Structure 1
């Protein structure tokens, strides 16, 4: 980082963030949790610090940009957003980001996902900076099961990452921190939850019962369980609609399941919704939000639902229970679509419970503000870099 004072008169720290994807501006055209985490934290840290973001060159963000104290540098060949595979393109990005990082003079380098953790580690080693990893979940031994053959790259890179002695691992949840320390007890791990900060959309709930789901359409997200639940609930709630936001390799298969169960007119696949505000609007309009996933590092979309005033039904898995503090929604037994059906039925029909959970959710949501989370993150960075 060549700037010493940048746009402000005083810059405390020079921070390099390495993230696979990053939005092309403040419109927040975000596709995944790690990207949202990197964007929100980069924006907040740049209020006081000099932040350089190294990210992929994409059709949406081909040239990078500068916003206040934040410089976004696009690295490697042009590539589209992917959730798995593209090993060659990902390796090209990693090499390009590493080379760009060597041109900087950072105090700290933070990687935000499995392909950027090693890059951050290597940049830090060559520039005498502190190396940090923002950690969402531990998938060692689970990569092939979760995403198939292309998970080999993830398995290799994650084992490499966790065998390095980072100056700090910053886990998004106590659950993820425990998973790191169970395998690598010598790692230095802190916990800072994801930042979830937005103004709730001012919209009315749909006139008839409705369910929203925001999810990648992959096996471990268990969206098929939600469709099966809708097929049962359709008999009790004749006007029930379910809107699913997200894309993935199972999209066609899930559409076929909806057709086979006779609910293709009740389940609407919205695909990728470009504007985050439009995603939040769909959640806010719905009576219930559903997250049937059995693999999460934090469950940021559940917190977003809480902020939108929409009670949730989610799998009873530790990270989502931690993120919600077990308030603002109902939990069902993972992979049990009949239990999911029961919990959805309860929330769709019990107005008193719906109102109580909505109020609970608003109280929890306030603790994920940018100011609250940003302060915790900054304290860790100051401690690690000795800038206290």
Structure 2
């Protein structure tokens, strides 16, 4: 097969979950198929990486403006893609966000009779209004319009699939994955902890609730240690909260760690991973924690796809968003032996297994098309 992935950012120059998914699928597919990525030009010289042919349809521009995804960037990429997505492909896999590029991908797929795959990493629906107020109506309408485009819709999580099905869109789940064997080879840090969190320090991650739960846990475990990895706009406020609650010796802020192996190393030296987020498109970090043998405590919320990765009492716990609920779940996770189950579940999400699901999905749909 000749496969074209479409997204405005590219790994390893931009290290997000979408970029990583394309890279991990693409480099594995390239051993048997011809794989291309159409993106903005984030790289300097080489137009190929790990078997993936790179096509820069336009110069890189800032993805964010004022802390939110830039509309100008989305328009720019969509226009450049319409002119730059050239060649005959069996499959065009367009990542749905930031939406506008899906219309360009649709036009190109029709002109070349390619199979169009629309990959959904999240479905925002009414969250648009929380994100942008009344201006969110524009995003809501565009998202609904993309959902009605002809093509095969892929959801990376069961949560996103459910959301799409609620508006009548049939979607097939091809989840994200992890490099399970690589994680097994990383050694544990010499700095141990009881609880660990890793992620962007933004409002919807609810790290403040985690900090308040540590305050409660300190009553039972006076020397409890919680490591927080990541950076973001909430960082200074979270540090002030930590001081205000008298937890300076219990909570350690590590900031953003450039080397992800270091994050894994800290996970391996901890006991429980807490992901108090109310919005996760998938939650790869939860799988990585399981691959380190750690149970995961996460939140029961319709926009938190990570909750579907947790089997209650087997590889973690799903609880309500409150310090009391989180602290109770953490204590249960600490006191229960769950390592074997965590490793077993995480191994099912190895990228080598996910790519076989993806390849089978493409081949079956191409066979139906012809």
Q: TM-score, structure 1 length as denominator?
A: 0.83
- Residues 204/76 of structure 1: CA separation in 2 closer, same or farther (3 Å cut): same
Does residue 24 of structure 2 align to residue 40 of structure 1? yes
Aligned runs of 1:359-378 on 2, under 5 Å? 359-378=340-359
Match of 2:164 in 1: 180
Cα RMSD (Å) of the superposition?
2.7
CA deviation string 1:68-112 (max 9, x = no partner) = 5311223433335647232222322232233221x2221111122
3-state SS of paired residue (1:343): helix
After alignment, is 109-118 or 303-312 more displaced?
109-118
Distance in structure 2 (CA, Å) of the matches to 1:118 and 1:304:
34
Give yes or no for contact 1:294–1:317 (8 Å, CA) kept in 2. Answer: yes
Counterpart residue number, 2:211: 227
Closer, same or farther: CA 269–150 of 1 in aligned 2, 3 Å: farther
Structure-2 separation of matches of 1:205 and 1:220: 28
Q: CA deviation at 1:305?
A: 0.7
User: What aligned pairs does 1:110-259 form with structure 2 within 5 A after superposition?
Assistant: 110-115=93-98, 116-146=101-131, 154-166=139-151, 168-183=152-167, 185=168, 187-198=169-180, 199-200=182-183, 201-204=185-188, 208-259=192-243
TM-score by length of 2: 0.87
Residues 208 and 239, structure 1, Cα contact 8 Å, conserved in 2: no
Aligned partner of 2:306 in structure 1 is 320
C-alpha distance in 2 between matches for 1:274 and 1:57 = 22
* Distance of 2:63 and 2:231 partners within structure 1: 11
**Aligned 8 A contact 1:217 1:247 in 2:** yes
Structure 1 gaps, min length 5? 1-12
The question of 1:105 aligning with 2:93 is answered: no
Q: How far apart are residue 369 of structure 1 and its match? A: 1.8
In structure 2, runs of 5+ residues without a counterpart are none
Kindly provide the CA deviation profile for residues 105-153 of structure 1, in whole angstroms up to 9, marking residues without a partner as x.
2111112241144443333233321111111221112123247688666
Tell me the matched-pair count: 360
* Worse-matched range after superposition: 187-196 or 207-216: 207-216
Go from structure 1 to structure 2 and tell me whether the alpha carbon gap of 1:289 and 1:119 turns closer, same or farther (over 3 Å shift): farther
Q: CA 1:139–1:214 in 2, change beyond 3 Å: closer, same or farther?
A: same
1:22 aligns with 2:19: no
Distance 1:70 1:366 in 2: 25
SS at structure 1 position matched to 2:213:
helix
Rate the CA distance shift 1:125–1:262 in 2: closer, same or farther, 3 A: farther
Deviation at residue 62 of structure 1 after TM alignment: 4.2
Matched residue, 1:76: 58
CA 1:209 to 1:180, structure 2 compared with 1: closer, same or farther past 3 Å?
Answer: same
In 1, Cα distance between equivalents of 2:195 and 2:231: 17
The 2-side partners of 1:85 and 1:264 are apart by 34
How far apart in 2 are the matches of 1:150 and 1:114? 17
Asked if structure 2 preserves the Cα contact closer than 8 Å seen for 1:107 and 1:129, the reply is yes
